[in-house]
Amino acid sequence: MTPAASPRKLGVNIDHVATLRQARGGNEPSVLEAALEAEKGGADSITVHLREDRRHIQDSDVWELLKKIYVPLNLEMALSPEIVKIALKARPEKVCLVPEKRRELTTEGGLDLFFKRELLGRAVEALMKKKIQVSLFIDPLAKQVLEAARIGAYAIEIHTGSYANARGGKREKELLRIRSAAQLGTKLGLRVHAGHGLNYENTFPLLDIPEILEFNIGHSIVSRAVFVGLSKAVSEMKKIITSGKG
């Protein structure tokens, strides 16, 4: 694998730590402690998704993380007036706008930037006025990349779920789609990130796409942490994306 000219960055999503906590309704495991352990392992940012139904991450988590972690907080959020208002008040360094359905287990597909186009444009403008870096979570489609640039987003995060779920020739086709979207995004001046469904094996082929500068990964890292601890699980993933070695 050929690593990028500058080291790729790793954003660690800790939503599933909160999912485990919410299963009992108590305080364990600690979302803050998870974030600090991820930092020890080399996380370049911490990602949390503040959902409208608050199924895992809570408002208090966002505020505590902003006060106590050392790396940037990346707040995933739907285009909800309530959540946008919270983001404008909290002012995390980064937000990633994602689609959200109440009954989904996890985010399904990328954001359609042509749906509620005016509302999206206003939200992006308001967030960026607060010096918040706005990323748009999209499928690897040229029309979506072009629209992200037109809107004036700081970055795109390419949804890699279809790639992760594909096999054989279909996976190669998905990889080509990701490569094309990443190249177009870079050409248009967008920072390119990737995430969803990535693990300690399927991330390797994406390392041959130098335009991808950041990976945001959660479930596979938290799953690995059950056996080796969170700091080590993060460290192992960081080694993969920075050196191309497992």
Is residue 56 part of the annotated active site? The answer reads no
Rounded Cα distance between 83 and 173, Å, is 35
Burial class (CB in 10 A: 0-12, 13-18, 19+), 166: middle
User: Per the residue annotation, which of 49, 56, 159, 193 is the catalytic one?
Assistant: 49
Complete DSSP assignment for 86-113? HHHHH--SEEEE----TT-SS--S---T
Instruction: Name the strand (E) or helix (H) holding 177.
Output: helix 168-187
Q: Among the options 56, 193, 196, 211, which is catalytic?
A: 196
Taking residue 148's Cβ as centre, other Cβ atoms within 10 Å add up to: 27
Which position among 76, 157, 211, 214 bears the catalytic label?
76
Whether residue 201 lies in the annotated active site? no
Is residue 76 annotated as part of the catalytic site, yes or no?
yes
Residues noted as catalytic: 49, 76, 196
